[in-house]
A and B are shown apart, each in its own frame.
Chain A
């Protein structure tokens, strides 16, 4: 496959994710989505680049900011919108909402809304993969803030100690809620993996999905032990919710404009024009599916507890 085809395919995926989330923004005031949403707008390139080389049998564990990875990993769009609408046809029958997406059929193993709590799950999955002789890549995706939690360090140590084939992917968007990295961390994320003897790769241009794919693939080519990949990226909307928050004072829109200048989804207008209509059609179909789907049955409330 030529480089150009690669670019176009990943561009299409990234644009699809963005348009899905922009549709969520449009729908939000109607109250049809009654679930807190942590949007990935600005961060699509990381998800698309990381997932490009992954197979359905490769496992990925995510966070509440999970829309992009759910879609990039191959999660179904209709059951995504149905889930956000709280419908019986959602991927969890309405029990998950936006924060707990999963699609085990394509190796998307679940999102937790407790920061850093799914990192050890990837380590455990890697332990299982090795013991059971499974040919799998196992990926944990988390934010920069998650590296402050104790369980992050416990997970790195165990993975390194047992040389487990797990890939730690830190999406560094510079903020945890409204607090900048420098106000929270006395360490440099880039130096931590070395403490545990884990090879570290920094991917500077998170918006450039082709670069993310290439550098990620190179970094994880050796499948014997843990790897740590930090992807520099940018969240353009407020931490949770659908609004812009540059007026709030904790960041300026200068960094946003710098980011936009590098964002292929903003720059490559020709390709946006080419792809947008079909994608919008697919999204409308999914939204319509969600809207016309039944609500969960009352007895579903107590189903699947044990």
Chain B
């Protein structure tokens, strides 16, 4: 924090993305954005809108349907001096590029003994709600964070975008995959601009809220749910939640997480993807390997149901963990009984957002 923090101001997630995309083009003449529809009238859900006009079609390039090709082209471009930013309007489509991402980009530095660096940014948007179904809803943080050589981030709010994207584009020498969340795009968050270099390393976990009773480690939109759960539980049951935004699944702040769990003795992990072999499994591994005695009760984890995503709204509602599930899980853990007597938060949480999120995309 600076001595004179500038006052906070509201900025939407999509607004932060547009601002940082423009910033990337303005600050570095070698940066380019490549992706399907980046130059069209919707501009990647508003996050590249107008940039092709402002910076030219050669720097904001619409791409054919060729995800693997695009990603390999980006690799070649960064090897020869450009800074590429690639986009996938659904993270699911980035799976077509996994050959380049996992077999090439992740290994390009190491495999050649450090002869090369491949700085680049891959943006992938997670879809949810309005019948996104099995192939437009996946959240691939654990697939990518599993692979050494990749830096995987999941901005949970506008501040995180302002803190990370300029840093990545200007200072970071490795490939970064940013997993953005479509349902956050239209939400406004308070941001503080302050000193852009105030964080020594923005690409790691962030403490969002202090509390003494339970540690919630959350990703992406689940950070927002955790905030709402924490407010509700503080008000109705004097349960104080500490919230850590994992922010970087590949490079979590283990000290922050472990010291919090030592303090609270209780751990809840709330992730946007499936639990097995995922973020929940990884955070539990971290605690088990480092300080198993820190936990006074078994850990609790929330994620998508172990199935592909169904399209029907009624099934989708059951598929994703909601505020009720989260408050229930936390209350059971803190009170130590199934029948904890804590009033559950009603379904005004993100369901409001999901309801007002009118499809199709």
Do residues A86 and B37 form an inter-chain contact, with CB atoms below 8 A? no
Question: Which of B127-135, B141-149, B175-183 binds A?
Answer: B127-135
Q: Which of B107-115, B257-265, B300-308, B335-343 contacts A (4 or more CB under 8 A)?
A: B300-308
- Residues B359 and A35 in contact, CB atoms below 8 Å apart: yes
A90 CA / B306 CA spacing, docked (Å): 22
Contact indicator A301/B131 (Cβ below 8 Å): no
- How many chain B residues touch A (CB < 8 A): the figure is 38
* Interface flag for A27 (CB, 8 Å): no
CA distance A12 to B1 in the complex (A): 70
Of the residues B67, B133, B306, B315, contact of A99 by C-beta under 8 Å = B133
Instruction: Write out the residue numbers on chain A whose beta carbons fall within 8 Å of the beta carbon of B55.
Output: none
Given contacts A145-B65, A178-B41, A184-B65, 5 further A-B contacts (CB under 8 A): A35-B131, A36-B131, A96-B133, A114-B92, A150-B68
CB distance from B74 to the nearest CB of A (A): 16
B contact set with A: CB distance below 8 Å: 36-37, 40-42, 62, 64-69, 92-93, 96, 130-136, 305-308, 310-315, 318-319, 358-361
If over half of B's interface residues share one DSSP class (helix, strand or loop), that class is named, otherwise mixed; here it is loop
- CB contacts (< 8 Å) of A75 on chain B: these are none
Which B residues are in CB contact (< 8 Å) with A87?
312
User: Are A86 and B312 also in contact (CB < 8 A) when A34-B130, A178-B42 are?
Assistant: yes
How many Å lie between the Cα of A35 and that of B313 in the bound state?
9
Judge whether B136 and A95 touch: CB under 8 Å. Answer: no
User: Which among B37, B64, B130, B134 is the interface contact of A95 at CB below 8 angstroms?
Assistant: B134
Could you say which residues of chain B place their CB within 8 Å of the CB of A179?
36-37, 40, 62
Instruction: Please tell me if the beta carbons of B69 and A86 are within 8 angstroms of each other in the complex.
Output: no
Interface residue A270 (Cβ < 8 Å from any Cβ of B): no
Q: Which chain A residues in 274-306 approach chain B with CB under 8 Å?
A: 295-296, 298, 300-302, 305
Name the residue of chain A whose CB is nearest to the CB of B93. Answer: A114
> Which residues of chain B have C-beta atoms less than 8 A from A100's C-beta?
133-135, 311
Task: Judge whether B41 and A250 touch: CB under 8 Å.
Answer: yes
Chain A contact surface mostly: loop
Q: Which residues of A are at the interface with B, using a C-beta cutoff of 8 A?
A: 31, 34-37, 86-87, 90, 92-100, 112-116, 145-146, 148-150, 176-179, 183-185, 240-241, 248-250, 295-296, 298, 300-302, 305
Contacts of A145 in B (CB 8 A): 64-65
Q: Which residue in A90, A240, A296 is a CB contact (below 8 Å) of B361? A: A240
Q: Are A148 and B65 in contact (CB under 8 A)?
A: yes
On whether the beta carbons of A96 and B311 are closer than 8 Å, the reply is: yes
Q: How far is the CB of A57 from chain B (nearest CB, A)?
A: 27
Q: How distant is the Cα of A268 from the Cα of B93 in the complex, in angstroms?
A: 42
Closest Cβ of chain A to B234, distance in Å, is 31
A247 to chain B, nearest CB (A): 9
6 contacting pairs across A/B (C-beta < 8 A): A36-B361, A95-B311, A100-B133, A178-B42, A298-B318, A301-B315
Which residues of chain B are near A183, meaning CB under 8 Å? Answer: 62
- Minimum CB–CB distance from A49 to chain B (whole Å) comes to 25
Given A35-B131, A94-B312, A301-B315, also A185-B64 (CB < 8 A): yes
With A and B bound together, what is the CA distance between A148 and B66 in angstroms? 6
Chain A residues with CB below 8 A from B134, complex form: 95, 100
